Amino acid sequence: MLINEFIQAVHFNDDLNPKLWSNHILRREVRTKLLHIAQDFIKFIALPNIHLKDITISGSNASYGYGEHSDIDLHLVVTMPDNPVIRELFDAKKNNYNFNHKIQIHGIDVEVYVQDELQPHHSAGIYSVQNNIWLSKPVRKVPKISDKEVRQKARNYASMVNKALKSDDLNTVQDVVKDLKRLRQSGLDVGGEFSVENLAYKLLRSRGQIDKLYKHVQKLKDAQLSLENRE
């Protein structure tokens, strides 16, 4: 792992990303496009009523911690029904949409999510695209980060990913995906966006390893659904 790669993943800036923000307000053309993307995703979900409460962006590009590989986290905040099937549907639709679309705003990738309004969301900044206001305004305070701890955690995660990529068992690979999500979330719950767990995950994502993992899951799903041609 190269030190400059780590810096790119956690880079801290003097200002919000000028491609997206002007005087701490989302640029008009950016906001308009994000609303269009959200509506397209809603159509893709294809449910009669998703109980939409807000459309927000958060993460690195809603704070001072953005870097070269930071994307735009676009969230549909909904009243989540107490139905595990619907929850799984939202997750599957999100993965499918992000996997099959490469949407960018001023060269920045957009990732869409469905967020339960009751689920705590940890981010240095949260902005309501729908209402054009800050819900949680970012503060420029450089966090204390242990390079050694992040490197070690990223190595542990990379080992998990590499083992999964060598496996042809779908359940095993999906368990690794769940473990990574759980570990990252535990870090967010305790230490927020700049927790060791979250930074290690972001570093792996910047190197393309998380994308490889999800593509491997899709490949195994396709193989499971396929019937081998026999002559």
Q: Which amino acid is at 60?
A: S
Same domain, 99 and 25: yes
Neighbours of 225 (CB within 10 A): 7
Q: State the pLDDT at residue 157.
A: 93
Looking at the structure, tell me whether residues 128 and 185 fall in a common domain: no
Which of 136, 168, 203 is the endpoint of a domain? 136
Residues 90 and 170 in one domain: no
- For position 142, what pLDDT does the model report? 65
Task: Please say whether the beta carbons of 112 and 74 come within 8 A.
Answer: yes
What are the beta bridge partners of residue 134?
A: 127
Q: What is the pTM of this model?
A: 0.68
Cβ neighbours for 125, distance < 8 A, ≥ 6 positions apart: 58, 62, 63, 134, 136, 137, 138
Question: Rounded to whole angstroms, how far apart are CA atoms 74 and 54?
Answer: 11
Please count the structural domains in the chain: 2
* Assigned token pair, 222: 């396709």
Query: Residue-wise pLDDT tens for the chain (231 aa)?
Result: 444 454 445 567 889 999 999 999 999 999 999 999 999 999 999 887 888 999 999 988 998 878 777 889 999 999 988 888 888 888 888 888 888 888 999 999 999 999 999 887 777 789 999 999 999 999 887 667 778 888 889 999 999 999 999 999 999 999 999 999 888 888 887 777 778 898 889 889 888 899 999 999 999 999 988 987 666
Domain assignment of residue 142, yes or no:
no
The CB density around residue 188, as the number of other CB atoms within 10 Å, is 19
- Give CB contacts under 8 A, 24+ apart, made by 218-225: 218/99, 220/168, 220/169, 220/170, 220/173, 221/170, 224/170
In this structure, the answer to whether residues 84 and 178 fall within a common structural domain is no
Per-residue pLDDT, 11: 64
116: CATH: 3.30.460
12 and 104 co-located in one domain: yes
In a domain, 107, yes or no: yes
Same domain for 115 and 221? no
Shared domain check, 155 and 90:
no
Task: Give the model's pLDDT for residue 230.
Answer: 66
Same domain? For 178 and 71 the reply is no
Written as six digits, the tokens of 135 are 């819900």
Same domain flag for 99 and 212: no
Do residue 47 and residue 128 come from a single domain? yes
CA angle, 55 as apex, 53 and 56 as ends, to 5°? 125
Look at residue 81 and give its three-state secondary structure: coil
Residue 75 lies in a domain: yes
- Write down the number of H helices and E strands in the chain: 7, 8
37 and 128 within one domain? yes
The SS3 assignment for 208 reads: coil
Q: What domain range includes position 92? A: 6-136
